[in-house]
Copies of this chain bind each other. A is one copy, B any other.
């Protein structure tokens, strides 16, 4: 499921808060930890729980028969995912790094939603947020160049990942590539290009610590 809490901050916070209330009162809820790379649920599996990331990061993806992978969304701290209205999940979800989630029984939530309009509307708001993200991503996947995709990705992560100046990306180049509909080499080349242009810098001894030096020029590449 595509979750993008930060995008619709005002009402989304409500939705999140509401689910929080529910959990504290009526609905079974617990924490769970997944190791780096562990599968949280598989596509077409029964959707028994919904999840909120407490720590770490998660990728949701679909596979084609021959292994081609499309990541539909990254779920970062605070994000809720796994919310399906049908009985089955539509993505596979995996922990990108060691990850702690809070989970609640889907049926319980469903049950409350059937009588409580506020909860039903909160679900609607969350689903709409996911839809909006998917709609924007279709434009990216269908019509943007590799450089534009990478720029959009960096700005999305900058917005969602941190208030700090340094972005610590949890995902690999391959994950980024499968999110953007590219190969990892093309992603790497785009990042190198942006680095050479002085638009971003790599921090410390890792290629996943990125600092955006020139958000303006990056935004010009976004659209």
Contacts and interface: CB of A to CB of B under 8 A. Distances in A.
Contacts of A128: 84-86, 127
18 contacts: A2-B135, A8-B86, A62-B135, A64-B139, A65-B223, A69-B143, A72-B135, A72-B139, A85-B125, A85-B128, A114-B117, A115-B117, A116-B117, A124-B124, A131-B131, A131-B134, A141-B141, A142-B181
Interface of A: 2, 8, 62, 64-65, 68-70, 72, 84-86, 90-91, 113-117, 120-121, 123-125, 127-128, 130-132, 134-135, 137-139, 141-144, 178, 180-181, 223
A202 B180 CA distance: 36
Interface secondary structure of A, over-half rule: helix
Contact of A127 (B62, B64, B84, B124): B124
